[in-house]
Amino acid sequence: MEYQYQLEHQIRDSIPNSPLETTEVSSTNPNEIVMIVKPQAIRELARLLKAQKGYRWLMDICGVHYPEREKSLEVVYHFFNRDQNRRIRVKVPHKEGEKIPSLVSVYKAANWFEREAFDMFGIIFEGHPNLTRILCHHEFVGHPLRKDYHPRANQTLSKPIEYEFEKSSDSDDEDILLNQKNYLNLGPSHPATHGTFRWFVELEGETIVRSRAEIGYLHRCFEKMAETHKYNQVIPYTDRLNYLSAPMNNDGYCRTVEKLLGVEIPARGRYIRVILNELSRIIDHLVCIGTTSVDMGALSTFWYCFSEREETYTLFEKLCGNRMLTSVTRVGGIAGDIDEDWMASCRARVKSMRNTIDEIDALLSNNKIWLSRMKDTGVISREDAIDFGFTGPCLRATGEDMDLRKQEPYYFYDTFDFEVPTMTGGDNYSRYMIRILEMRQSCRIIEQALSKLPSGPTQIDDPKIVLPPKKEIYSNIEALMNHFMLIIDGVKPPAGDVYSYTEAANGELGFYLVSDGSGKPYRLKVRPPCFPIYSAFEDMIQGGMVADAVATLGQLNVIAGELDR
Amino acid sequence: MKTLTPLDNLPYFTTKIQDFINWSRKHSLWPLPFGTACCGIEYMAVVGAHYDVSRFGAEVVRFSPRQADLLIVAGTITEKMAPVLRRVYEQMPDPKWVISMGVCASSGGFYRAYHTVQGIESVIPVDVYVPGCPPTPESVIGAIIKLQEKITKGDTPQQRLLQRRKLAAKTSAKEFETDDIYSEDRSEASNVAELKRV
């Protein structure tokens, strides 16, 4: 409360024309302050928060559309202060066509987030260097996340966008051989771009002078789909965000809805979620290392990683029936339960994982080729990383030991004995080492969670949130009715909004959920950890070789499903 | 395989040249994995040590369309990606085959949405569809076996096209000259654009 008044005073004193409309503490998070701010003051406010109040991270920018309101559009900013563990959510409601000052000059992270808000809602940011479409294709008309855009209104593209850099003035046309710059397009279908990324680079010899990354080739409209489905029906869509570690996305989403509902799931459910999360973290890191090593030419590491992953899939299949995209959590708990047999195979799995991690470590960490490819390539400094909104292993590779599991322990992470490894290089090798070290810590967490696992239910006991057991449905009229109502109406959280975050394999996976009290989300924005990380890619590869850029892309572990949604 | 059975106690066997060509083609499929999403990861598992697609002669993964004859579309194809897919397909030499892996590629899956192509058959022709989200590696291998059966019979549009071209060369008949048997107009094939902005 005191902090809130102090902040309010400081803002009123330093920014003219009373920018604040309201300030309140968030109902779902005591460390979060929600402000409504006038559009023209947002840039000064961001400067103040960053320079004087220690809000070094701009976590997310998103739009919300309220067609029935006079100020029909709203921009929502999420700021994060790591040292005091505080968050500020700033809302800027405005009329259509009104211009919002861009934050690109304050936070580098704002660049792509603002482009996305422009693409999805048509919000115009004044002073943005390149306010163009980012996810939808360039021939797209309209703004798809507005409420009056029909979810199925497809627009076909006639031909891919073509790039051209404006010629730099110092190019000497006479001596073509000496000063000729080469232009190279990589992707979107290129093995080194892992499927769906595309970059266009200007080369001088083999050195990258300028580059431009194009994303959106896997924009499959997650957020629009979430608005047209009930809360529980959204869970399978979340699987396909970061498809390398699906249970973590399920968990992050369900936790968001639970937070808005104001419920906490039973201890056993939380422990199982921890086990699943850590297993997925390991297999996610394994794919990252495996695919990077394929790009570097070390094919055998790929086989090591994938056979380990395959066994973990079997474990998931045993639990829920699907290998990869598990959809295993529910709002209010876990679907199903684990038994002694599963726990025994999980223990064996962890044991064999430790061996594989050691083997990979022995194969790569001191390998001469690996070292020369990874050391001092794709370097980013700590300040830049924070400015770009890095979280997760890529941030910890620059020396900042921020991990949400320690920062703001959820579930039982404060009771487990584990460390947060950091490296200081900020290069590809540091990122690789962080992943190796982190996998070992995850093994420790799984072992502890398995030994501490309490007995009891895995789901909360509330017929308005969780389906009754199958046996009850067929024998009890009340259970049948509850089942019917929950399927037809869905879970109904109270009206309001919530921002919830978990430490996913790539960093902070945030969900910003706006509910209007009905059975479907009014707006669900995902803050994918890859998105701000990949926005730094253009800067990181500048001055390096094309081959370094390939290694950098591999070690940033950008997942298209999460990046483009 | 009736055509390639050696006769008893004889050091040779007889067959038709076309059957022999089909037989060799089906055992040397060179796939181009057009992996865009989750199915791409599952395709890696198909190539990986456990399922090992090399048992079926389809492990020489090529990322250049010029060197591949089997296009495996693994993952969601968005409107932004569709022209790229079409171009990659056109760059592949004849004869070529397409496996549509997973429901997203086959029908758009549960992404009934504004930026997702509702099935790649509106962009390129498909020989085998694999259901599943993602399909299990077993069913992908099943699809490869299915395709091999079709190739043995010479029963794919591509092989029929080659036959027709040959026939056209022999008879110099004008009506066989058309190359583009896939010239479906995309806007007619999936006229979803009419739903634009309700």
Contacts of A150 in chain B (CB under 8 A): 114, 195-198
Query: Which H helix or E strand runs over A124?
Result: strand A124-126
A126, A153, A173: which is the final residue of a domain? A126
Closest by Cα among A215, A180, A174 to A195 = A215
Identify each DSSP E strand in A167-291 by its residue range: 182-186, 198-204, 207-214
Q: Are residues A457 and A317 in the same domain?
A: yes
In this structure, the answer to whether residues A340 and A479 fall within a common structural domain is yes
Calpha distance A311→A345 (Å, rounded): 10
- In this complex, do B197 and A190 lie within 8 Å of one another by their Cβ atoms? no
Q: Tell me whether strands A73-81 and A86-94 are parallel, antiparallel or unpaired.
A: antiparallel
Q: What is the mean pLDDT of chain A?
A: 87
Residues A294 and A400 in one domain: yes
Residue A113: give its domain's CATH number.
3.30.460.80
A307/B115 touch (CB, cutoff 8 Å), yes or no: no
Contact A144/B197, CB-based, under 8 Å?
Answer: no
User: Would residue A20 count as lying in a domain?
Assistant: yes
Whether A205 maps to a domain, the answer reads no
Mean pLDDT, range B94-118, rounded to an integer: 89
Q: Which of B81, B112, B196 minimises the CB distance to A217?
A: B81
Q: Say which residues have a Cβ less than 8 Å from residue A430's Cβ, sequence separation at least 6.
A: A397, A398, A423, A424
Interface probe for A, chosen from B52, B91, B114 (most Cβ of A below 10 Å), is B114
Tell me the ipTM for this assembly.
Answer: 0.85
- Please write the tens of the pLDDT for every residue from A26-56: 888 888 889 898 888 888 888 888 888 889 9
At residue B178 the predicted structure's pLDDT band, cuts being 50, 70 and 90, is very low
> Which parts of A151-192 fold into alpha helices (H)?
176-179
Residue A199 placed within a domain: no
Whether residue B190 is predicted with pLDDT greater than 70 in this model: the reply is no
Domain-located, residue A195 = no
Extended beta strands in B17-57, E state? 31-35
* Domain final residue, candidates A86, A102, A126: A126
Distance, in Å, from the CA atom of A215 to the CA atom of A233, rounded to the nearest integer, reads 27
Angle at CA of residue A387, ends A386 and A392, nearest 5°: 30
CB-based contact B45 A306, cutoff 8 Å = yes
Chain B residues whose CB is inside 8 A of the A309 CB are 45
Considering the domain architecture, whether residues A302 and A435 belong to the same structural domain is answered as yes
Determine, for residues B42 and A195 on separate chains, whether the beta-carbon distance falls below 8 Å.
no
* Mean pLDDT calculated for residue range B131-149: 90
B186/A156 Cβ within 8 A? yes
A277 within a domain of the structure (yes/no) = yes
The residue of chain A nearest to residue B85, with distances taken between CA atoms, is A189
CA distances to A228, A229, A399, A476, A518 from A483, rounded to whole Å, are 21, 18, 50, 11, 17
Whether A244 sits inside 8 A of B115 (CB atoms) is no
Q: Record the tokens describing residue A198, joined without a space.
A: 């595309």
**Which of B87, B90, B115 would you mutate first to test chain A, the one with the most A CBs within 10 A?**
B115
- Average per-residue pLDDT in chain B? 79
How many Cα atoms sit within 13 Å of B84 on the Cβ side?
A: 25
Contact B37 A240 (CB under 8 A): yes
Q: Look at residue A53 and tell me if it is in a domain.
A: yes
Residue A393 lies inside a defined structural domain of this protein = yes
Regarding whether A243 and A105 lie in a shared domain, the answer is no
Q: Flag if B193 and A287 touch (Cβ within 8 Å).
A: no
pLDDT value, residue B72? 92
Q: Does residue A305 lie within any of the structural domains?
A: yes
In contact, B23 and B3? CB cutoff 8 Å: yes
Structure confidence by residue, pLDDT tens digits, A97-132: 889 999 999 999 999 999 999 999 989 998 888 888
Q: Mind listing the pLDDT tens digit for each residue in A281-301?
A: 999 999 899 988 888 888 888
Is pLDDT of B182 > 50? Answer: no
Mutation site, B80, B90, B187, interface A, largest A CB count within 10 A: B80
Amino acid at A532: P
Phi, psi of A494 (to 5 degrees): -65, 155
Query: Which domain-ending residue is among A75, A102, A126?
Result: A126
Instruction: Among A271-285, A338-352, B180-194, name the one with the lowest average pLDDT.
Output: B180-194
| CATH label of the domain that carries residue A389 | 1.10.645.10
- CA-CA-CA-CA torsion for A149, A122, A199, A195, nearest 10 degrees? -20
Residues A93 and A238 in one domain: no
A-interface mutation test, from B51, B52, B60, B78, most A Cβ less than 10 A away: B78
Lowest mean per-residue pLDDT among A6-10, A430-434, A447-451, B101-105: A6-10
CB contact under 8 A, A313 and B190: no
Nearest-CA residue of chain A relative to B77? A218
How many separate domains does chain A show? Answer: 2
Shared domain check, A99 and A227 = no
- Full domain range(s) for residue A34: 2-126
Confidence of residue A167 (pLDDT cuts 50, 70, 90): low
For residue A151, the chain B residues in CB contact (below 8 A) are: 112-114
